[in-house]
Amino acid sequence: MSVRTKKTKCSLLIRRLTGRTLRILVIRAGFPYHKSPRQYHLIWLFILLPFSEEDTINELCEKYGKDLRWLYKILARHPEASEKLLRMLAMPLFFDFLREFSLSDATAQSRRRIRIIFDDTKVEKFGKYMEFIHKLYDHTKERYIMGYNYVLMLAVSGDMAVPLSFVLWLPARHPDHRSKNDIARDEIIRMKKACDRQGCDLGEVELLFDSAYHVQKVMNAADTAGFRVVSKADNRYKFEYEGELLKPSEIIEKVAERQWKYLEKDHHYQRVIARHHVYGKVVLVVRRRWLKNGKIICDTLISNKLFYNAVRIHKCYKRRWKIEMHFKYYKQYLSLGKSRFRKLGAIRTHLSCVAITALIVSIFRRQFPRKISFLKAVKLIRRELYD
């Protein structure tokens, strides 16, 4: 297949899925398309690289010619344009989720409840000359690795999942350093502004994250945006409970001798109302769990909606696992972590391209006449493009 034929097939696929041409998308994203239209059309060959037989830009160059070496310069120079391109494709789909939810009856709303999940993942790298590669502790491998840390914002509605942003966390020595909590807060504020422009309400949307993101700046931004927050409580913060300022671990000790209620097999709970000095009254669900080895562990979940009962908070937090499955899909099927770019701009663009590819898979699954898995969708897109 020639590079022209390949580009034409990419163009037809994108137009069928999004309703817009490659040229319009590239121009609106902010790429300097007028300087060299032919070169900026090639970026779609890299975005759809996970569906091809090639794995790297060098392999593309060997098969389709040296002109594709311009791809690396495009990736390194325009990370902001790639991030804007992702938002241009993802936000309309998220607004469709909100409109479908508002027009549904109560039964359909329970199935299509929209959830936004924040989490991060670490990817080990082995290159010697990568910019700002740093030492990270990977709890899954129980050792330190050299690599990068990525923060993903994922919107989930039923079986559909849409990546809204995929951001590279930079170490403190970088001039553009932001903590992961700052990234989450900024993305929440950005989403609130976009929804205000569209006239959409976020009051029915649930926001899920683990204890690493349970900080005042994120909670305040989520309350202002109107989200229903469900998170694991961080033990560093104190709550006013029964006239005392207590940490979650101290609340667990205080209620340990009281009557526990049944939650599910090997799970019991106690639901309490507490007050935080910044974001007011919250619901705390103290969970007690028996592990298979006989060990008993306790933790605390938190929600800013007082009408949420313990069972609903527990089941809602369990759905946070959806983002872990998508990290797995991105690494196995969409080449996340396999690249070895040296420039920081190219790494940021690669993240956006991975998210755009995942978005294309989600749109394909949404338009397919029957329910299919993520892997099946990847195989069908590959067959359509290259067979």
Given this model, what pLDDT does residue 108 score? 84
Helices 344-367 + 374-386 axis angle, to 10: 100
| Helix segments in 19-78, DSSP class H | 22-29, 37-41, 43-47, 57-64, 70-77
Check: CB of residue 219 under 8 Å from CB of residue 242: no
pLDDT digits (tens, 9 = 90+) for 88-112: 999 989 999 999 898 888 888 888 8
**Residue 123 to residue 350: CA distance in whole angstroms:** 13
Interacting residues of 113 by C-beta distance below 8 A, sequence separation 6+: 101, 157, 204, 206
> In degrees, to the nearest 5, what angle opens at C-alpha 93 toward C-alphas 91 and 96?
110
> Both tokens of residue 108?
């359909």
Phi (first) and psi of residue 257, to 5 degrees: -90, 0
DSSP reduced 3-state for 352: helix
In this structure, the number of other CB atoms found within 10 A of the CB of residue 158 comes to 14
Q: Would you kindly state where each structural domain of the chain is located, as residue ranges? A: 3-210+320-386, 232-318
Consecutive 10-residue runs of the chain (387 residues): their mean pLDDT? 68 77 83 75 77 73 70 82 90 91 86 92 81 84 87 91 92 88 95 92 93 92 94 92 92 91 91 91 93 89 93 93 92 82 85 90 89 90 78
Q: Return the CA Rg of the chain.
A: 23
Interacting residues of 67 by C-beta distance below 8 A, sequence separation 6+: 3, 38, 39, 42
> Both tokens of residue 201?
């309400």
Given this model, what pLDDT does residue 225 score? 93
Given this model, what pLDDT does residue 215 score? 92
* Among 19, 12, 7, residue whose Cα is nearest residue 43: 7
Q: Give CA separation, 59 vs 54, 65, 86, 332, 344, in Å.
A: 6, 10, 25, 19, 21
Check: CB of residue 116 under 8 Å from CB of residue 155: yes
Given this model, what pLDDT does residue 336 score? 84
Given this model, what pLDDT does residue 292 score? 84
Given this model, what pLDDT does residue 110 score? 82
DSSP reduced 3-state for 115: strand
Match 């770019």 to its residue by tokens: 341
Given this model, what pLDDT does residue 151 score? 94
DSSP state of 67: G
Interacting residues of 263 by C-beta distance below 8 A, sequence separation 6+: 269, 287, 310, 311, 314
**Residue 120 to residue 99: CA distance in whole angstroms:** 28
